[in-house]
Structure 1
Amino acid sequence: MTSALSARPREAAGATAAGHTDAALPLSCSQLRVNLGGRTVLDDISLDIEAGSVTVLLGPNGAGKTTLVKSLLGVLPLASGIVEARGERAYVPQRSEMEWDFPATAHDVVMLGLIRKLSRWRSPGKEHYKAVAHALSKVRMDAMKDRPIGEMSGGQRQRVMIARALVLEPAVLLLDEPFTGLDMPSQELLSDLFVSLAREGCAVVMSTHDLTHALHVADRVVLLNRRVIADAPPRELRDPAPWRETFRVSEHSPLLTHVASAVDAESKDH
């Protein structure tokens, strides 16, 4: 498989979690268990999320990817286990969860990301406008800051939502299915953005169904199906067994052929 994406030097990313002390980790969870609707959705999940890395959660529908992202964010109750966060966490939900017909510009939407930092009686100051402009610039949307969100394409809206998260200057950026429904240029732009954020020291955690982009941008892939099946850099995931267990497919599944090709291509690039 030949990737249209720009190559990423793996040495620019952080070291493996095993090489860090807990103090260096912006986010971690231990023996996480989550029950929803009377059933266990996640069981015995332990992860160390390191600064300066891109961690990708892969698994089938119903595997618990969104639940894990929201658990790491701290918005879901835990049946057991612990989540430890050091620094600001910011979240970008699936685009289908958002209302896009409200009368707000890109600038307005990003400013909403700072609402927790603004007192009830205080108007935004120069530092807040500067932060919004910087966040929009990061996602290449500064030229469209005055355009209504309802008039934007899917890719443009997604970039605005990422800017709303980045305006908080988070230590950890959590994204749920950021590539879904986007055209290839938008996916490539976001891939480059996530790599850039990691190089700047942010810990990027995303769930996705997009194997091609996942294996390209990831420093680490977590194969998830209610529990962690595998947790390793992409180049170490050539063995089809964990992929079969995660996605519950046969040994003849085209998925395995695609994964093998993608892993080999990324290993040659790096």
Structure 2
Amino acid sequence: MTAPDAGYAIDVDDVTVRYGDVIALAHTTLRLRASTVCGLVGMNGSGKSTLFKTIMGLITPQSGGVRIDGLTPARARRGGTISYVPQSEDIDWSFPISVREVVMTGRYRHLGLTRRPRRRDHEAVDEALRRVELTEFADRQIGQLSGGQRKRAFVARGIAQGASILLLDEPFAGVDKRTEATIIALLRELADDGATVLVSTHDLQALPQLADQAVLLMRRVLVHDTPERVIAPDNLIRAFGLDPLDDAPVTGEGR
């Protein structure tokens, strides 16, 4: 692995991840600087979720490494630098917890030994709810929200956390166009404020409005360029019509 570059917010260097004999990521390198929205595109099984979990430090690669603002993923996660919104939250939607309380969980590391929210914590949560347009739903039980509203609530949790790096796995899946437009505008605003956003999406049509740059993934990075160049027909054929790892010992799909 090359020496980490503190100038990169996300530095994924030559990472390989296997599940047994299955290659999920092969020699994958991805480097993003701050104030960037990067769209992550690839077919199911291309390794997008594995890449997110590796960046978060939830999966340890067999080779290569990851740095987040020059830190290990574990240290970045403990320090609240990075926030992850997975494709589906592992939560009991019937649990009696309000939207406000869900967002407040993003303040956990700020609460001190008493774990009691202070004025600045409530203010951070109120501001996060305002930014995702959920203020009027703050006291509603989380399971009463629509799918798109739930996703906005978990984006708000990352904002309240104060994370400078946000990972979002398919935040537009199952949401209406209004919610999609709201999330896109919010992510652009966060990037303008200095955040780094990596977001996976199947909505290629909206990619140029969403992202400054994009990555085409098929168990390794095929193209990292502007959205318009990434979704050019020749590149999409490479990702969706051919296996770019036909010279590697792949015995199943990535995850």
Same fold (TM over 0.5): yes
Correspondent of 1:196 among 156, 177, 189: 189
Correspondent of 1:229 among 176, 197, 222: 222
Residue 69 of structure 1: aligned partner: 52
* Residue 150 of structure 1: how far off its partner (Å): 1.3
2:152 and 2:36 mapped to 1: Cα distance? 20
Alpha-carbon displacement from aligned partner over 1:53-88 (angstroms, at most 9, x marks no partner): 111110000000111111111111111111011260
User: Retained in 2: the 8 A contact 1:69–1:207?
Assistant: no
Which residue identity does 2:11 align to in structure 1?
A: S
Name stretches of at least 5 consecutive residues in structure 2 with no aligned partner: 70-75, 243-255
User: Retained in 2: the 8 A contact 1:57–1:207?
Assistant: yes
Instruction: Say whether residues 1:163 and 2:156 are aligned partners.
Output: yes
Q: CA RMSD in A?
A: 1.8
- SS of aligned partner of 1:67: helix
How many residues align? The count is 229
* Residue 117 of structure 1: how far off its partner (Å): 3.3
Name stretches of at least 5 consecutive residues in structure 1 with no aligned partner: 1-20, 250-270
The correspondence of residues 53-132 of structure 1 with structure 2, limited to 5 A, is 53-86=36-69, 88-95=81-88, 97-119=90-112, 121-132=114-125
Residue 8 of structure 2: aligned partner: 25
- SS of aligned partner of 1:114: helix
Correspondent of 1:178 among 146, 171, 174: 171
TM-score computed with the length of structure 2 as normaliser: 0.84
Alpha-carbon displacement from aligned partner over 1:136-190 (angstroms, at most 9, x marks no partner): 1111112221111111111111111100111111111000000000011111111
* Residue 127 of structure 1: how far off its partner (Å): 1.5
- SS of aligned partner of 1:76: coil
User: Retained in 1: the 8 A contact 2:108–2:115?
Assistant: no
Q: 1:213 to 1:239 in 2, by over 3 A?
A: closer
- SS of aligned partner of 1:130: helix
Residue 133 of structure 1: aligned partner: 126
- SS of aligned partner of 2:205: helix
User: Retained in 1: the 8 A contact 2:216–2:230?
Assistant: no
Residue 259 of structure 1: aligned partner: none
Which residue identity does 1:146 align to in structure 2?
A: D
- SS of aligned partner of 2:59: coil
2:169 and 2:129 mapped to 1: Cα distance? 20
1:213 and 1:116 mapped to 2: Cα distance? 35
2:84 and 2:231 mapped to 1: Cα distance? 31
TM-score computed with the length of structure 1 as normaliser: 0.80
Q: 1:112 to 1:239 in 2, by over 3 A?
A: closer
Higher helix share: 1
- SS of aligned partner of 2:109: helix
User: What is the aligned-residue identity percentage?
Assistant: 36
Alpha-carbon displacement from aligned partner over 1:62-116 (angstroms, at most 9, x marks no partner): 0001111111111111111110112601011113644322111111001112223
The correspondence of residues 249-268 of structure 1 with structure 2, limited to 5 A, is none
User: Retained in 1: the 8 A contact 2:33–2:196?
Assistant: yes
Correspondent of 2:140 among 134, 147, 153: 147
- SS of aligned partner of 2:27: strand
Residue 47 of structure 1: aligned partner: 30
- SS of aligned partner of 1:24: coil
